[in-house]
Amino acid sequence: MGPALLGLAAGIVIIGLGTYPGLWFPARWTFSFPVLGSPGLPHWAAFWAYYGSLVVLGLAWVWLLRVINVDPRFPVALVLAVFTVWSIPFVVGPSVSSEDVYAYVALGRLVERGLDPYQVGVNALGNDPVVGVTPPFWRNNPTPYGPIAVRVAWLAAVTGGDSVPATVVILRLFGLLCLLLLAVPVTALARRAGTRPALALTAVLCSPLVLVDLVGAAHNESLMVLLVACGVALGMAGLAEEQRRRRLALLCAGVGLCGAAAGVKLPGLLGAALLGWLWAGPGSPALRRLPAVVTSVLLAAAVVVVVSLASGLGMGWVGALDVPQRAYTLLAPFTALAVLVKELLVRLGWPSGWVLPVLRPVGSILGIATAALLITRAERLGATLALGLALLAVAATAPAVWPWYMVWGLVFVGTVTMPTGLQAAVIALTLSLTPLGPGSLDVTQRPNASALFMMLVVAGGALALWRSYRPDGRRVAAVQMTER
């Protein structure tokens, strides 16, 4: 009861400060919170109360993990109840880490009016009030989100009518439903990996990163990870089947769900690649596995094409996939490195225009190569952990990185483990965005101390995982035995 009440209180303070008038981005909500939303509250008090409440929310999560870790009979239903209670403030309050949810509302309205969101930005809505609350980045840029995500936004816009807050709440409720449904595949994957379901669900669902960025900010990662987790759980259940026809049917269904996930965001294809690698069975040589991997990815890609055409939106989103790269976030290690190198070259008087265009793609290539290598180690690491690490590698090396990208992999890593170092990294990532100022994600392409701090956070989280799951570690062997 203690951590549940502490987390709820922290959430209420966080969303209350979301109505504070001195925000970096203005409050776009229907109510102002007493005291916390008062213009008389000093900025320094709001700043420390906001950060302090995020830390308290993180500590409540850590406390809950400790309670469940020592109580093997802790019920899954109670974990889901705590998650639901903690979500309530973030469902009804303003968004405190990102304004992208307003861009989703605008995206739905574009489709509702018959406009192509893959060709035009939000400004095409003209004088619609939602344009004024949409982040400037999305006003002139087309959306890179897949057709499933766009259709969800359209349904929310149709249901919410002319009310922006109502549409936002609908999107949040949809995301909350996806996260509650995520409990089903996470439970299945946790049991297969030898992890207690209650512990895995607490690590995955109750983390401050999920509450703030997936529930409150309604990012469509919730739908993507649900589809990938369902696909991988279904495919791995098929691997355990002895009847060939049933085994093939379950594997194909799992790959299809991963393809549907790619219809939200493209990294969902990694789930299909993993199932293709496992298709041939343990001990199979790499050359024998490659045709299955290619077939699996092609099948998932075919699902993406079919879904895109069936949605009526077409394949235009593929041409907009480079749009997120137009943002410069120093949480992206290779972007931060490129900015530092560029600054050094400028000070030395040497040519520097080549640095960002070269180092950012290099990071993406290395991330994809690392993900592929991790998938080939699926039997040694455990399939669930390998997929989580692969998704983290792709997310962390992207040209532009936002905290919610890390949820792609943390869902699967957290299903298996959540070491202390990684808990600290998750809390730090939650602190990296604040409505009270630029925070750690400076997008001005200038080096700063907070950007370097966030690079250390990412490196620390990676080190914590490596120390817990070295290739020769006992835990890896245990996971390997349970997943075969």
Residue predicted with more confidence, 217 or 327: 217
340: its two tokens: 């530092």
Find the DSSP H helices in 24-163: 43-70, 76-92, 100-112, 129-133, 137-140, 147-160
- The amino acid at residue 187 is T
SS3 content of the chain, % helix, strand, coil (to 5): 70, 0, 30
Residues 122, 125, 129, 132, CA torsion sign:
positive
**Which residues are within 8 A (CB) of 93 and not within 5 positions of it... i.e. 6 or more apart?**
14, 15, 16, 18, 19, 29, 216
**Which residues are within 8 A (CB) of 423 and not within 5 positions of it... i.e. 6 or more apart?**
58, 61, 62, 65
Of the candidate ranges 262-266, 366-370, 373-377, 451-455, the one whose mean pLDDT is the lowest = 451-455
Q: How confident is the model at residue 31 (pLDDT cuts 50, 70, 90)?
A: confident
Highest averaged pLDDT of the listed ranges 42-51, 132-141, 305-314: 305-314
Quick one: pLDDT at residue 444?
52
At residue 334's C-alpha, the angle toward residues 329 and 335, to 5°, is 35
Average pLDDT in the chain: 88
Cβ atoms within 10 A of the Cβ of 454, count?
28
Highest averaged pLDDT of the listed ranges 47-61, 437-451, 458-472: 47-61
Quick one: pLDDT at residue 440?
44
Q: How confident is the model at residue 109 (pLDDT cuts 50, 70, 90)?
A: very high
Residue with tokens 């060939």, as numbered in its chain: 244
Whole-structure pTM value = 0.92
The mean pLDDT value for 193-202 works out to 95
Q: How far apart are CA 326 and CA 167, in angstroms?
A: 27
437: three-class secondary structure by DSSP = strand
Going by the DSSP 8-state scheme, the letter that residue 23 receives in this structure is -
Quick one: pLDDT at residue 78?
96
Quick one: pLDDT at residue 327?
82
Find the DSSP H helices in 240-332: 244-262, 269-279, 286-310
Quick one: pLDDT at residue 154?
97
What are 54-85's pLDDT values in tens digits? 999 999 999 999 999 998 889 999 999 999 99
435: its two tokens: 């409505």
Quick one: pLDDT at residue 44?
86
Q: How confident is the model at residue 235 (pLDDT cuts 50, 70, 90)?
A: very high
Residue 478 scores a pLDDT above 60: no
Residue 483 scores a pLDDT above 90: no
Quick one: pLDDT at residue 329?
78
The mean pLDDT value for 264-276 works out to 96
The mean pLDDT value for 20-34 works out to 81
Residue 312 scores a pLDDT above 90: yes
